[in-house]
Amino acid sequence: MKPYTYENNQQHFKRALKFIPTGIYGHLGPTEGCYIPISAYPFFCDKAKGSYFWDVDGNRFIDYMCAYGPNVLGYNDEDVDAAAMKQLELGNCVSTPSTIMIDFAELLVDTVEMADWAFFAKNGTDVTGFALMVAKAATGRKKTILVKGGYHGVAPWTQKLGYAGIVEEDVTNNLYVDFNNYEQVENLVKEHPDEIACFMATPYHHPVFEDSQLPEKDYWNKIRKLCTDHGIVLAIDDVRCGFRLDHKGSDHYFGFKADLMCFCKALGNGYNFSALCGIDALRDAAASIMYTGSYWMSAMPFAAGITCINKLQKLNGAKLMQNIGEKLTTGLVDIAKDNGFNLKISGISSMWYMRITNDDSLMLHQEWISECVRRGVFFTGHHNLFINCSLTDEDINLTHEIADASFKVLKTNHPELF
């Protein structure tokens, strides 16, 4: 199994650096420190299909990042693409919206258990920001309780003081708690009576660089009651988990009902749009806000979304992805054990986090991930990973084979551990 090389990737990156700040910005690029060592990773994609993408050197990867979530059915799904192209011929970005926007809103309300209405935008940041505005408009309050380490996009209010470009006023109304710590939330509510507009969190905690945490028994039911008793809007950021836990919503999966739910990644299998779903009691507050964007009512993504959601329901996609993830991760744990390593899996199997526990510094884990990437399995080291519905047993078996070869490289490189 000859490791990949990336000559064309490197040439394109040098060209990108001349014209684009950092060449590839955000955590998708090598300058953010997520790719360690940088030499193990491809930078630019040439094409994608199903569970795979090919880089500009012709290397094929089984992709467990799934475009960081949007690939839920498989890249270039023929049914989704056909629906999108049919709508494109009719019209896409026009001065007035197409009625297909209403069709998708009806489908989303019929699908998501808590939803009485839906509002559309383009990415996760749009709808988490809008959710916060809805909560503030409805309550007339300023403050928001957020979970430490949680991620809700790139708007200034989602970031931390001390980050470049962030000033104190951006985050002054944020209050922070640990996930699963109900008492901290309760204390903040007591300390700030009638000041808290919103509690926003992901349905389970999936920060980077840390094991994922599932909610403890009764955690969400206690949070739900506390919010109801004190007039606080409960907003769930389902941008990452949405449709990989339950097509009725991740709040339904964990047995509670949110007031607002933010969706994005898996809505359209790569066609970009996002949605905020809400309850009737917040309909007027949402309607009172002036919030829009240039492409937010484009018709093509709605056509893709209708086909994507219907296909996910037909496949029972969330359950299918959890079963695939269980088979993949159980095998990885066993292979690690056979090679003398302990691989810890956390989160839900359709969107899991993993790390080798033999080394607290994470260097051993980074090394194993890089050896997998060099052989055609695209993992990243410190982010949750994603399953899509097109993964086959053949893909899983090849992943296990590559994982085994990569663990053997680690054993050779680190005889001091054995």
pLDDT digits 0-9 by tens, 198-256: 999 999 999 999 999 999 999 999 999 999 999 999 999 999 999 999 999 999 999 99
Identify the H or E element spanning 259: none
Cα–Cα distance between 84 and 98 in angstroms, integer? 13
Percent of the chain exceeding pLDDT 90 equals 93
Residues 376-387 have a mean pLDDT of: 95
Mean pLDDT of the chain: 96
Q: Is the pLDDT of residue 105 over 90?
A: yes
Buried b (16+ CB within 10 A) or exposed e, 27-48: eebbbeebbbebebbbbbeeeb
With cut-offs at 50, 70 and 90, classify the pLDDT of residue 1: confident
Q: Residue written as tokens 């206690």?
A: 222
Q: Is the pLDDT of residue 14 over 80?
A: yes
Structure tokens at 169: 């006023």
Identify the H or E element spanning 97: none
Structure tokens at 396: 């899983």
Task: Specify whether the CB–CB gap between 207 and 176 falls below 8 A.
Answer: no
Helix segments in 230-342, DSSP class H: 250-253, 283-287, 299-315, 317-338
8-state DSSP, 273: -
Q: Cβ–Cβ contacts within 10 Å for residue 217, how many?
A: 9
Q: What is the pTM of this model?
A: 0.96
Q: What is the phi/psi pair of residue 235, to 5°?
A: -110, 125
Task: Specify whether the CB–CB gap between 282 and 133 falls below 8 A.
Answer: no
Cα–Cα distance between 397 and 376 in angstroms, integer? 13
Q: Residue written as tokens 């994609």?
A: 45
